[in-house]
Amino acid sequence: MIYNLHCNSWFLLDTLGEMEPPTSSRLNSRKRRKDGSGPNGATELDGVPPKMSRRSFGLKEPAPFSDEVEIDYSKPYIRVTYEEAMRGTPLDRPVRVYADGIFDLFHSGHARALMQAKNLFPNTYLIVGVCSDELTHNFKGFTVMNENERYDAVQHCRYVDEVVRNAPWTLTPEFLAEHRIDFVAHDDIPYSSAGSDDVYKHIKEAGMFAPTQRTEGISTSDIITRIVRDYDVYARRNLQRGYTAKELNVSFINEKKYHLQERVDKVKKRVKDVEEKSKEFVQKVEEKSIDLIQKWEEKSREFIGNFLEMFGPEGALKHMLKEGKGRMLQAISPKQSPSSSPTHDRSPSPSFRWPFSTKTPPSSPGNRSRNESAVTYDISEDEED
């Protein structure tokens, strides 16, 4: 049997000592939760993944289709047991694991399921079957992507080694033998379809079933539900991007309605922006007014203090007025002369005598006339008494 070399790249790198394949127990615990999930859907149970050196592990080509892979049918097909697969098989005999599905709107839930299938065993060759449009429409319903788009999406998943186009809805022993499948990987929930309670029931009974875990919170039906629920939003979105109403299967009235709603939303957005800017402006004005009030209070206190210091009862103005008054009085009334000055409190001359004194000192004619007038004044006063 000849295998495409790039299909076993992970195992070859492991053999060469360049990397270690992740264990299934660690990968099976990685479930995306609707709430509380970390980046890439990791949960608290995952822990911190080890860091790897910066190198490229990606493949350069998509996975081949099964009719493009050469198989050596000369060797007999002997299935490996679960114990042998877990212990590890030789490089030229990987465990061939098959996983099938519709893979419409290929999303992270599909990729995680295939990642778990790829890491079920140390040396795994993953074959993925994709059902055709005819089977899918008959047994499950209409798809968003056609079969060629779904084939191409699965081809470019890094965990896939080979893609089977037009895969059967129910696995037959002939199909398992043709593709030399050892185990079938799928979630353990019974899948009722095509008149059967579980299409994988005979696989489980044969001991070929390898269960994987579903990724919660993401599925093709969930994605379609989001689009249907917000149909108007996505219709308007695509109209804005240049799609015509005919391409979107939108009537003329709805087209005009969507355009009107778009204009209304733009006006609302502008009004909201103006409101936000006005709020910011009012907030800035309030902050400035508070600052101005605080500064005004500080300046008013300082002004009142300076006013009281100048015009208060013991202010500087009162002292200035006192000093000015004193200087004015001093300028108007000069200081008195000393007590020895002849102009103040002059004692009578020793030679002075009253007019009625018996002894009158000799005097000059001028003094005599003054004395006579004084005597005359004194006599008149005595007569009146």
* 375-376-380-385 Cα dihedral, nearest 10 degrees: 10
Average of per-residue pLDDT values in the chain: 77
d(CA 261, CA 269): 12
* Tokens 């009862």 found at: 313
Q: Looking at per-residue confidence, does 368 or 151 come out higher?
A: 151
| 309-353 pLDDT per residue, tens | 777 777 676 777 777 777 777 777 765 555 555 555 555 555 545
What is the model's pTM? 0.58
- Please provide residue 196's backbone torsions phi and psi, each rounded to the nearest 5 degrees: -125, 145
Output the pLDDT for position 75: 83
CB burial string 318-353: b at 16+ within 10 A, e below: eeeeeeeeeeeeeeeeeeeeeeeeeeeeeeeeeeee
| 78-89 pLDDT per residue, tens | 999 999 999 999
Strand order in the sheet with 124-130: 162-165, 124-130, 95-101, 183-187, 209-212
Mean pLDDT in residue range 88-109: 95
* Tokens 């579980």 found at: 198
Tokens representing 131? Answer: 């059902």
- List all residues 6 or more positions away from 178 whose beta carbon is below 8 Å from its beta carbon: none
